[in-house]
């Protein structure tokens, strides 16, 4: 290879690599769950945290802060797995000691829960003794009169209603981030209010759903579904809170497909799906057939490549234990229509002023138009055929090399309209008697 060519080839390779890096960087993966400084992680969907029976809840963090349930809250495998706490049965749970080296309540910490509210009562309580013992205690997450409240103790109970309120009977990721005595409430990954409080220097424990006289207006045993509890010995950033919400919500929240484009196409077509809760998607299907590939660009947009053999039907997106289904059908083409031209009797010549029959062999029925040198052939426009053949009676008017082509608009949407390849015919002077 000549030196100049090597330079050009090198430049082209560099451009290609940069382009690939840019494309890869522009694709947004599902955010990662923050594990740094995590000191308590109860996840009912994980059999290593809760096996579906028994009273022990195992801490999935490295801290070993195992806890237990009381009065047998009901387990369900839906949404990956959750426990139902009911005030009618005085059901609750408790954690191990939360305090770790370098962490006290007077320093920074963050606490979050996946819950689904079914009634009023205490959801999360802070205590100075384990197993729900006496001593100092106060409710920090509670539902009062249908309103979710998050707060803490400061010469009496101080609370701030989380705003906006979570949708009724829906899963919610709620909690707070504390720095000294200043706390920020988050609901579903977004800041929703602030409060201040007095903290204790001693050991911290949590109870889940237990009644407490130091409360925000109700104080009774809680009524809710419980999916997870995350506690950090640091103040999470707003981005980390949002990342945790997006990284864990797939099993709790149902995705949606509100629109898609284009609405039709053949195998290999890239379709952009727009909707909600798409982070964590594990599959995209076209009428039940898995997409050749898909890429979650954001929580509201996913691209998917139409597979070979797909038929017209709904698009579905699977995330966690839920499936989103498009309201309308995607029109899936089997592929391009095919059309091949030949002169009747074969050959590549015709005579000026003498009729020649052009035959078109098709792979589908439709409407066919024939052309000579790009102009529609007289009486060969929009010939409708119900079979896989069509014919044109062509009368060449000039001696010249002529390019014949044809175009088919298929009857069925299973095929894409297409043009034939060119057929070159040499038109000769007519010989013999007129």
Residue 288, pLDDT > 90, answer yes
Instruction: Inform me whether the pLDDT recorded for 119 exceeds 70.
Output: yes
d(CA 255, CA 68): 33
Cα separation, 20 vs 28, in Å, equals: 15
- ∠205-210-215 over CA atoms, to 5°? 90
User: Given the structure tokens 């980390």, which residue do they identify?
Assistant: 240
pTM score, two decimals? 0.73
**Predicted pLDDT at 265:** 86
- For residues 92 and 3, the model is more confident at 92
SS3 28: coil
Domains and CATH numbers, the chain: 38-251 (2.60.120.200), 254-332 (2.60.40.10), 335-428 (2.60.40.10)
- Mean of the per-residue pLDDT values of the chain: 88
pLDDT in tens, 315-335: 999 998 799 999 999 998 887
Residue 324: which residues within 8 A CB-CB, separation 6 or more?
254, 255, 256, 257, 275, 277, 316, 317, 318
CA quadruple 340, 346, 351, 356: dihedral sign = negative
Above pLDDT 90, what percent of the chain? 69
Window from 26-35, 267-276, 308-317 with minimum mean pLDDT: 26-35
- 3-state SS assignment for residue 240: helix
pLDDT value for 161: 65
Answer whether 211's CB lies under 8 Å from 223's CB: no
More confident residue, 304 or 204: 304
Q: What is the pLDDT of residue 431?
A: 67
pLDDT digit string, tens, across residues 230-243: 999 999 999 999 99
Residue 6, pLDDT score: 41
Higher pLDDT, 122 or 431: 122
Do the beta carbons of residue 117 and residue 143 sit within 8 Å? Answer: yes
Rounded Cα distance between 103 and 99, Å, is 6
Q: Three-class SS of residue 194?
A: strand
Mean pLDDT across 329-357 = 93
Supply the Cα-derived Rg of the chain in whole angstroms: 34
**Dist. CA 422–CA 93, nearest whole Å:** 78
Q: Which two tokens stand for residue 175?
A: 């909690």
Q: Are β-strands 224-232 and 82-85 bridged in parallel, bridged antiparallel, or unpaired?
A: antiparallel
Phi, psi of 353 (to 5 degrees): 75, 5
91 pLDDT band (50/70/90 cuts)?
very high
Any idea which of 18-32, 72-86, 403-417 has the lowest mean pLDDT? 18-32
- Residue 122's nearest CA partner among 138, 143, 148, 137 is 143
* Confidence class for position 1, pLDDT limits 50, 70, 90: very low
In this prediction, residues 351-364 reach a mean pLDDT of 96
Structure tokens at 289: 């057939």
Q: What is the pLDDT of residue 7?
A: 37
Query: What pLDDT does 11 receive?
Result: 39
The answer to whether the beta carbons of residues 141 and 159 sit under 8 Å apart is no
CA 275/CA 18 separation, integer angstroms: 31
């Amino acid at each position: 290879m000549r030196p100049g060519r090597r330079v050009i080839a090198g430049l082209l390779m560099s451009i290609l690599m940069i382009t690939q890096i840019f494309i890869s960087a522009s694709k947004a993966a599902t955010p990662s769950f923050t594990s740094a400084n995590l000191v308590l992680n109860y996840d009912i969907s994980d059999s290593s945290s809760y096996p579906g029976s028994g009273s022990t809840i195992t801490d999935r963090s490295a801290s070993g802060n195992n806890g237990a349930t009381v009065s047998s809250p009901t387990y369900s495998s839906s949404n990956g797995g959750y426990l139902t706490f009911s005030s009618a049965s005085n059901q609750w749970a408790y954690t191990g000691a939360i305090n770790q080296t370098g962490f006290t309540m007077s320093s920074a910490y963050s606490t979050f829960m996946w819950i689904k509210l079914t009634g009023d009562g205490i959801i999360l309580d802070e205590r100075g003794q384990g197993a729900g013992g006496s001593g100092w205690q106060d409710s920090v997450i509670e539902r009062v009169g249908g309103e979710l409240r998050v707060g803490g103790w400061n010469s009496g109970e101080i609370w701030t209603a989380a705003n906006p309120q979570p949708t009724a009977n829906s899963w919610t990721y709620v909690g707070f981030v504390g720095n000294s005595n200043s706390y920020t409430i988050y609901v579903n990954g977004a800041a929703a209010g602030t409060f201040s409080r007095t903290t204790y220097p001693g050991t911290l424990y949590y109870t889940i759903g237990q009644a407490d006289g130091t409360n925000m207006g109700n104080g009774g045993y809680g009524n809710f579904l419980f999916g997870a509890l995350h506690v950090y010995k640091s103040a999470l950033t707003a981005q980390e809170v949002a990342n945790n919400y997006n990284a864990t919500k797939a099993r709790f929240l149902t995705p949606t497909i509100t629109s898609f484009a284009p609405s039709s196409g053949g195998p290999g077509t890239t379709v952009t799906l727009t909707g909600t809760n798409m982070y964590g998607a594990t599959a995209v299907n076209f009428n039940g057939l898995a997409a050749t590939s898909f890429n979650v660009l954001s929580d509201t947009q996913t691209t998917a490549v139409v597979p070979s053999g797909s038929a017209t039907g709904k698009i579905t997106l699977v995330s966690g234990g839920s499936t989103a289904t498009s309201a309308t059908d995607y029109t899936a083409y089997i592929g391009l229509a095919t059309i091949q031209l030949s002169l009747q009797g074969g050959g590549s010549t015709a005579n000026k002023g003498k009729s020649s029959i052009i035959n078109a062999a098709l792979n589908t029925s439709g409407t066919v138009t024939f052309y000579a040198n790009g102009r529609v052939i007289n009486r060969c426009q929009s010939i409708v055929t119900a079979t896989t053949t069509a014919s044109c009676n062509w009368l060449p008017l000039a001696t010249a090399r002529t390019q014949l082509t044809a175009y088919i608009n298929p009857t069925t949407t299973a095929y894409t309209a297409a043009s034939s390849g060119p057929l070159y015919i040499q038109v000769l002077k007519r010989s013999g008697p007129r």
